[in-house]
Amino acid sequence: MTRAQRPPTKKRPANRAAPRPQPARGAAPRSARARVKGGRQPEVGTTFLRRSRFSGWAIVAVFAVIAMWLGVVQFIQAPGLSEKAASQRQVKEVLPAVRGSISDRGGQPIAFTMEAKSLTFQPVAERKRIQEKYDKEVEAKKQDSSADEPVTVDDRVQAIAKKISSVLGDKVSEEKLLEQLRGNDTFVYLARGVDPAKATEVTDEFEEVGTERESVRNYPGGSLAANIVGATGWDGKGLIGLESSLDSILAGTDGSMTYDRGSDGAVIPGSTREVHPAVDGGKVTLTLDNDVQFFVQQAVEQAKQKSGAKNVQAVVLDSKTGQVLAMGNDGTFNPQLGLDKNPKDARTGNLPVSTPFEPGSVNKLITAVAAIEGKKTRPDEVLQVPGQIRMSGVTVNDAWQHGVEPYTTTGVFGKSSNVGTLMLAQRVGEDAFADYVKKFGLGAATGVGLPGESGGSVPALNQWSGGTFANLPIGQGMSMTVLQMAGMYQAVANGGVRMPPRIIKGVDGAANPAPEPEPVRVMSPETARTVLDMFRAALQNDPTGIQQGTGAKGAVDGWQISGKTGTAQQVDPVTHAYSNSKYNITFAGVAPTDDPRFVVGLMMDAPTRSSDGTGGQSAAPLFHDISAFLLQKYGVPLSPPAPKLTLQAGK
């Protein structure tokens, strides 16, 4: 190519900077070299130091925040957190008191408490755990065909129900258990009051079933004295009877203790503190005799069946102390079963103290005592007794038709003449009669120590109407309980001193005896002995019938017995007038007469036959059975022969 053919060289502009020299191979990058600015060389690492300072301050700030937070936690929140942690592991356990026992006068148990267990289950939670276990077993079976066959939830539930049902027998049904186990409740009681050994038999095989400690009230005699003692509820608290009225004594006071529990549920050693021992309930001793109580309950039940009465009641007292040896009525219940599992018609009340009635002729005792004490008559005085009497504006008849009969004062009561009794009552007078009613404790509760006691009903003297004094001496127009009725005869048997009846002998044994009741002098010892001997007439037997009393079937061979029969018209609930077909049949007596030991009071509500099923309406056979049992059980010596009493003169 010729020179002329070369392309012209491009001229660089005069003011354009020369190209920057490229750094030599291996030299540091330009950004890392110092730059000349204002003719001054900069320090190496300025940027690095600046970043280092920032990082340092950031770290300091972080540590400062952490330190502040630790300070807040340690010094401000520490007490609260410590308290919260302590509360999470702290357990306050109740130490239950053992309910006190109830026993008879000889220390034989009537009611006592023993430890038991309740079986519990958490249906929703436990079925979920069983399902999770089943799922794991299914996976294991896939990996190892020889592994056990997985157990389904329902299989496990059925196995639990079958086990509990077989261990507890009739106490709980398998169907009921399955209903609970399959339900959607978070917690259920499968069974309560289970023997600890049986509970362990279940829980050892089925860990899903839990237990809770509880106490079970036992009544070894079943229905023995049930109407007196009463019953407790599922929570162990008294519901009726002495179990209720003495609950503050029997229940005791629960204790407590505090301890710490680890995450595994175990008690942390050495953490137990604040231990307050439980104070067990007081032990109550009754005046009852279990043997006598059992016999009386059986006797009144049989009498009810044989007589056709609506109910039959009985009370036995110690003649010297007034203590109740037995008290019962028919149709009682069994507290061992629980109130809800007894028959609907079972009697849970205590009729001999809660149900007053018109007593009839047993009340003639008041007139007899008042007349003898006031020297208005003598036992052998002969009264010309007509078949009826007009008194206080009303006419009163004897129970049988007769003309004027020469009855002795003894015979008036032995043959239970209404007319003869009212003749003597007229001699006594209204004021004196009303005074003796009060002395005998009628119209007021006895304070025996039983709940629901009635005081009966006696009209005040200033409220007596025209016919009142014609009714009260023969036991109509007033009411009393069987216990009050027996208490009247106890006063005569005890030499004229009435001891208000009591059924609680003591609490916690002889160290805490029950207070003795205040005695009441009703009559002189001489009057008491005279009346007691007179009342042998009611049980006197005479083949001719002339000198025979109304309660001859109540006599017990070998012993002198005193007593009185009674028949009172019931008030018709429709007409509110006295019925001519329904009666209260009563009997009260003392055994033996020569050395009184026992007083027995009986009442039969509208019987159609005698208490032994024979014709007529009488409680005398029942009195005989109870008295004979008492005399033989206690080994009472036979009575000396007693002279025959004259009930009707001149025959």
Q: Which residues are catalytic?
A: 361
Q: Which tokens sit at 342? A: 């007894």
188 and 311 Cβ atoms separated by less than 8 Å: no
What 3-state DSSP class applies to 389?
strand
3 state SS for 213-243: EEEEEECCCCCCCHHHHCEECCCCCEEEHHH
Residue 261 phi/psi, 5° resolution?
Answer: -125, 135
Structure tokens at 366: 């008041």
Q: Are 256 and 586 in contact (CB under 8 A)?
A: no
Amino acid letter, residue 167 = V
What per-residue string of b and e applies to 174-185 under the rule 16 or more CB within 10 Å gives b?
Answer: eeebbebbeeee
Rounded-to-integer distance, Cα 272 and Cα 457, Å: 60
Our CA dihedral for 427, 429, 435, 439, rounded to 10 degrees, sits at 30
CB 181 within 8 A of CB 154: no
Cα angle: 112, vertex 115, 118; to 5 degrees: 125
The one-letter code for the residue type at 4 is: A
* Distance between CA atoms of residues 480 and 460, nearest Å: 15
The alpha helices in 221-335, defined as continuous H runs, are 226-229, 241-245, 247-250, 290-307
Q: Which two tokens stand for residue 339?
A: 């109130």
- Cβ distance 620 to 551 under 8 Å? yes
| Residue 312: strand pairing partners | 604
